[in-house]
Amino acid sequence: MLDLVADAVVAKKGYPEMSIAAAYGSPMFNLVIGMGLGLLISTIAQYPHPYTVELFQSMSVAYMIGIPILVATVLCVSLRNFQIEKWWGVILMAAYSLEMVIQILMECGIIPSGIFPILGSPNHH
């Protein structure tokens, strides 16, 4: 949430490019360094046995919504000569809201477990 506020302030100050770079760069840094370091420590601790990553349905939902939105953003921004308009921001916020609603409904048991395939699991064909 703090990233959202910081990115909005930077954009309002007249640096929208920096805001966009931060919006993509900060999570990427957290994934690469945070997960990379954590997985390195875990694999060292379990050596010589492999480290098994447990997959959850919430990850499948995040991938099923996140990856298409990321690809669509790259295409949309590229095809529009790197001009981003408000309507695309509305689409991104709607996609994020949809993902959050699905995640909450799954956690509350309103959407049954097993409705979304766990991507990459051995039982998924």
Dump pLDDT digits (tens) for 49-107. 988 877 777 778 888 888 899 899 889 888 988 888 889 989 999 999 999 998 898 88
pTM beyond 0.75: no
Q: Where are the beta strands (DSSP E) in the chain?
A: none
By CB atoms closer than 10 A (0-12, 13-18, 19+), residue 54 is exposed
